[in-house]
Every structure is written in C-alpha cells, then in structure tokens.
Amino acid sequence: MQDNLILMGINAPRQHQAIITKLIYGLTELYVQGESKLFAYPETMIDESQTSPVPDVMLIDTKTDLTKVIIEITHTQGVKKDLQKLISLMKDYDVEEGFVYDYKLNIWHKYRLNEGKVERENSFSTVLQKDLNLLLNVM
C-alpha cells in the first residue's frame, strides 16, 4: 500500500501566496474593467500541451492564447535562480516581459526579451502600461 504513496513538497509561504493573490486580484480587476486585454492566471503551466514549468503569475492574451508577461515571487536567496528560470521560460516561449519580485527586500527585477538585460528596481510593465508594485497595495 505504501508503494503508491506520493510525497509532494510545496514551498509556498503565506507571504508568497498573499503577493500572488494581490497581483491576481489587481490584474483581474484591470481585465474586467477593460483596462487590459490580458487575463491573469496563478501558478499555471505555460505550455498546456506538455508538462512545463509553472510561473507564479502569467498574463495571457485571450485572443491569441499567448503568454505576454510572467511574474515570479521569491525571497532574496531565490532571486538569482528565479531570474534564470524566468529568462529561460521567456526565451523558450517568446514571452515579451517578465518580473521577479523579492518580497523580503521589496525589490522588483524586470526583464524584456527584446532588450536582453535585467533592470533592478523596475516594476513598471511596458506591456500593461501599469506599475505592478501599486497592485500590491490593493487589499
């Protein structure tokens, strides 16, 4: 009977999940109000046709079904690894813009695929024309 036991490790601290919730809430509000044509999904596979990495937040163009923005939420220790994951996903799936947010230091890192460089302390989404950091103050 124990042969069928599957153990799953989940690393989702409450603060991490709270930030995802605030972003999803704010981004969904923009979509509902017609201020964005991108729909926000929490922790969803980027490629539904196969098992694929899961960004914390994805913004999808509802007409083309393509991912336009991805966001990773992390703490200071994980920034480097999450930036590598983000850039790899963006290159593999032609995602225009990505962010890594360090919630311990309150620092955003922005990466645009066509520019190929990481900008520190930049939470302004060119795709959305909105400051993502402002969405963290919605609740």
Q: Are 134 and 128 in contact (CB under 8 A)?
A: no
Q: Where are the beta strands (DSSP E) in the chain?
A: 38-42, 57-61, 66-74, 97-102, 107-112, 117-120, 124-125, 130-131
Length of the chain: 139
Cα angle for residues 95, 110, 56 (degrees, 5° grid): 60
Element (H, E) at 79: helix 79-93
Please report the domains of the chain, with CATH numbers, ordered by start residue: 11-135 (3.90.1570.20)
Per-residue model confidence as pLDDT tens digits over 56-82:
999 999 999 999 999 999 998 999 999
Q: Comparing 49 with 26, which gets the higher pLDDT?
A: 26
Query: What pLDDT does 47 receive?
Result: 83
pTM above 0.75, yes or no: yes
